[in-house]
Amino acid sequence: MELLIFYPLAGLCVAFALGVVVNNSPAGSAMSLIAMMLGLAGIFVLQQAHFIAVLQIIIYAGAIMVLFMFVIMLLNLKGSGESASWRSRDKNLLLTVLSGLLVAGVLYKIIAVVESGNFDSPALRPETFGTVRQVGTILFTEFVLPFEVASILLLVAMIGAVVLAKNKVD
Amino acid sequence: MEIVPLSHYLFLSATLFVIGVTGVLVRRNAIVVFMSIEIMLNAVNISLVAFDRYLNLHDGQIFSFMVMCVAAAEVSVGLAIIIALFRNKPTINLDEFNIMKS
């Protein structure tokens, strides 16, 4: 039953991820990426990670992609930039073959590990697994220091972005 | 109800990660390269959450939460850098940026 939901979602994610890479216009890539993020949110729901799924939609498909679209619109990149020229770069074939080798190697390794034992049978999980309450409790007890550090990181990133975007690079 | 085996999530994660790597290697548009990096981060998140469910922990979800924080920070700073570069030279083709040379 879950597999019936998983395969279409996974296929959609892979297709849209490829769409990000092969699309000629940055706006089209961004749209593909939003679709991929939404598909991934579905996969997170399938994995009982509801909190992460909601965050995926709010942070990625919402905030980050709006930032991307904002910059694409701001720079008005339509027509400028690389456009279609990336398809005819010298080493593209080599790089594609290399990444094909990479994916073949990774899949081979995963298959080897999976075949070597009862890897696929997960532990029994309680009904409350993955609820926001559970994740929040752990986040604010065991991982409260990383959580605070993350907030400092975001503050630093915010200040850095303001400083970088304000001044002209010499 | 039959659940999805862990290996399927790992396959999906590996595939998405390699698509992201390919994007970074092949594309020269700075913004698309950034998006490919986002694909890679998301692929890792799938693995983290899959293992977290497999081992019946919540640590993986917390970790992917941190990954999202880092991704947000990275994107905001990175896009600010792109804007600053664009002001300097009106292109975002990475091959044309060699201001660190010489």
Residue A10's pLDDT is: 93
Residue among A69, A99, A115 with most chain B CBs within 10 A, to mutate: A99
A49-100, pLDDT tens digit by residue? 888 899 999 998 889 999 999 888 888 765 555 555 666 677 778 888 888 8
ipTM score assigned to the predicted complex: 0.89
A110-124, pLDDT tens digit by residue? 888 877 766 666 666
The CATH number of whichever domain residue B89 belongs to comes to: 1.10.287.3510
Residue A94's pLDDT is: 83
Domain encompassing residue B73: 28-96
B41-76, pLDDT tens digit by residue? 999 999 999 888 888 888 888 999 999 999 999 999
What is the distance between the alpha carbons of residues A144 and B35, in angstroms, rounded to a whole number?
A: 30
Asked whether the beta carbons of A130 and B59 are under 8 A apart, the reply is: no
What is the distance between the alpha carbons of residues B28 and A35, in angstroms, rounded to a whole number?
A: 22
Kindly report the pTM of this predicted structure: 0.87
Nearest-Å Rg of the Cα atoms of chain A is: 21
Which CATH architecture best describes the domain A1-81? Up-down Bundle (1.20)
Examine residue B50 and state whether it is found in any structural domain, yes or no.
yes
Examine residue B20 and state whether it is found in any structural domain, yes or no.
no
Examine residue B34 and state whether it is found in any structural domain, yes or no.
yes
A18-38, pLDDT tens digit by residue? 999 888 888 899 999 999 999
Chains A, B: CB pairs < 8 Å: 239
Residue A84's pLDDT is: 59
Helix, strand and coil percent figures for chain A, each rounded to 5: 75, 0, 25
The answer to whether B56 contacts A122, with C-beta atoms less than 8 Å apart, is yes
Lowest model confidence (mean pLDDT) among A151-155, A162-166, B15-19: A162-166
Least Cα separation, residue A23 to chain B (angstroms): 9
Of B41, B4, B7, B8, the C-alpha closest to B23 is B41
Q: For B4-13, what is the mean pLDDT?
A: 86
